[in-house]
Amino acid sequence: MTDAVSKIGEYSKFGSVLGLERINKLLSLLDNPHEKLKVIHVAGTNGKGSVCRYIYEVLEANGYKTGLYTSPFVENFEERIEFHHETISSQDLDRFTSTVIEKAKEMVKEGFESPAEFEIVTAIAMCYFEHKKPDFVILEVGLGGRGDSTNVIEKPLVSVITSIGYDHTDRLGDTLEQIAGEKAGIIKSAVPVVMNVSDHEPAAVIARECYKKRCVLHDASKHKWRKIGNAGIGNHFNVTIDFTEYRDIVIRMAGDHQIENAVTALATIEILRKSGIIEVDGDSLSYGMAKAFQKGRFEPFRKGKYILDGAHNPDGWEALVKTVDDYFYEKKVLVVMGVLADKDVDKMVNFASYISDTFIVTEPQNARRLKAEDLATKLEAKGKQCYICPCPKDALNKAMLLEDEFDMVLCAGSLYLIGELRGLITNDE
List of long-range contacts for 131-135, beta carbons under 8 Å, 24+ apart: 131/92, 131/96, 132/65, 132/67, 132/83, 132/84, 133/65, 134/37, 134/38, 134/64, 134/65, 134/66, 134/67, 134/83, 134/84, 135/38, 135/59, 135/64, 135/65, 135/66
| Residue-level length of the chain | 429
What does the pLDDT read at residue 66?
A: 98
Residue 261 burial (CB count, 10 A): 30
Measure the CA–CA gap between 242 and 11, rounded to whole angstroms. 46
Going from the C-alpha of 6 to that of each of 10, 63, 76, 220, 390, the distances in angstroms are 7, 35, 13, 41, 26
CATH superfamily, region 3-291: Mur-like, catalytic domain (3.40.1190.10)
Residues 201/203/205/207 CA torsion (nearest 10 deg): -140
The three-class DSSP label of residue 360 is: strand
Q: What is the pTM of this model?
A: 0.94
Counting Cα atoms < 13 Å in the Cβ hemisphere of 186 gives 32
What does the pLDDT read at residue 13?
A: 79
C-alpha closest to that of 115 among 4, 2, 20: 20
What does the pLDDT read at residue 230?
A: 84
> Cα–chain-centroid distance for residue 151?
16
Q: Which residues of the chain are modeled with pLDDT < 70?
A: 1, 428-429
Can you say whether residue 414 is alpha, beta or left, with left for phi > 0 and alpha for psi between -120 and 50 degrees?
beta
> Cα–chain-centroid distance for residue 19?
21
Q: For domain 299-428, which architecture applies?
A: Alpha-Beta Complex (3.90)
Measure the CA–CA gap between 167 and 174, rounded to whole angstroms. 9
Q: Where are the domains of the chain?
A: 3-291, 299-428
What's the burial of 315, exposed, middle or buried (CB within 10 Å: 0-12/13-18/19+)?
buried
| Beta-carbon contacts of residue 175 (< 8 Å; ≥ 6 apart) | none
